[in-house]
Every structure is written in structure tokens, then in C-alpha cells.
């Protein structure tokens, strides 16, 4: 369990970083709406612990996974300050199944928050093409 006093401090740091990155891709007002939505989701100890555990678990994978064989839809915003174009396009190399790469002009790292209608359209079309 994370020491409870650490969680609010980590949240404050994360939100400050989000603000710094997102001012390039969206208006300050829109960015603050994103921060508020994220704060509502992660603004409590269990949610923050879960988010941090996800990042900790990423280091637990030590062996190569092999090629991804399931259908992949990669949605990338060309204003993403976290994942550059070369890295985004390079994911194709690790997928052996159907792969679709979609670029959203003017959208940053949080595409689902910044362009929810377009992301929803892409997801619904992808799921229709690849039913379970």
C-alpha cells in the first residue's frame, strides 16, 4: 500500500506535468477540463494506487512477448508530446495481425478526451471489422 500522504503529492506532480504538456495541443480551458476529469478518476488513494501499480507492473515483463496477433487499432494524435511519430509508426513492426494506424491532426496524448467522437467512430468501425 502506498503511504497515503504520497498520493496527493504524486497527483499534484502528475497534473502539473499534464498542464505543461497539454498547453501546446489544446486551449488552456479545454486542458483544464481534461485535468478535472483525470483528477476525478485518480483523485483518491485506491485509484492512484491502481494507476501506479500498472506502471510498476510494466517492468515485470522480462521476456519478449512476440508479435501481437490480434487486430490492432493504433490512434495517434500528431500533437502528442509523449509518443513521437517514429515511435508510433514503429509499433507496426510488432504486430503480425491486422493493423490500422490512424492519425488525428491537432490531437495530443489524450485522444479519447480531446477527440471523443472521432475516437469512438474509429473504435466502433474497428470492432465491426473484427467481431469477437
Identify the domain containing residue 116 by its residue range: 72-129
Sequence-distant (≥ 6) Cβ neighbours of residue 26 within 8 angstroms: 34, 108, 114
Put simply, whether the predicted model's pTM sits higher than 0.75 gets the answer no
Structural domains of the chain, count? 2
Cell numbers given for 119: 475516437
Same domain, 43 and 78: no
Instruction: Report if residue 10 sits inside a domain.
Output: yes
Tell me the per-residue pLDDT of 19-66, one tens digit each, with 9 for 90 and over.
565 555 555 566 666 666 766 766 667 777 777 777 677 666 667 778
Q: How far apart are CA 1 and CA 4, in angstroms?
A: 8
* End-to-end alpha carbon distance in the chain: 37
Tell me the per-residue pLDDT of 96-121, one tens digit each, with 9 for 90 and over.
999 999 999 999 988 998 999 999 99
Residue 103, beta-bridge partner list: 76
Query: CB–CB of 58/31 below 8 Å?
Result: no
Instruction: Report if residue 63 sits inside a domain.
Output: no
Instruction: Report if residue 104 sits inside a domain.
Output: yes
Cell numbers given for 92: 507496426
Amino acid at each position: 500500500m502506498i503511504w497515503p500522504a504520497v498520493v496527493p503529492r504524486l497527483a499534484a506532480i502528475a497534473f502539473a506535468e499534464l498542464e505543461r504538456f497539454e498547453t501546446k495541443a489544446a486551449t488552456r480551458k479545454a486542458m483544464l477540463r481534461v485535468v478535472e476529469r483525470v483528477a476525478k478518476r485518480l483523485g483518491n488513494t485506491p485509484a492512484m494506487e491502481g494507476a501506479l501499480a500498472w506502471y510498476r507492473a510494466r517492468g515485470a515483463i522480462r521476456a519478449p512477448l512476440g508479435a501481437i496477433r490480434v487486430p490492432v487499432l493504433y490512434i495517434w494524435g500528431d500533437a502528442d508530446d509523449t509518443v513521437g511519430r517514429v515511435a508510433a509508426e514503429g509499433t507496426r513492426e510488432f504486430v503480425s495481425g491486422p493493423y490500422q494506424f490512424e492519425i488525428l491532426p491537432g490531437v495530443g496524448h489524450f485522444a479519447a478526451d480531446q477527440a471523443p467522437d472521432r475516437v469512438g467512430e474509429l473504435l466502433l468501425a474497428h470492432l465491426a471489422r473484427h467481431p469477437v
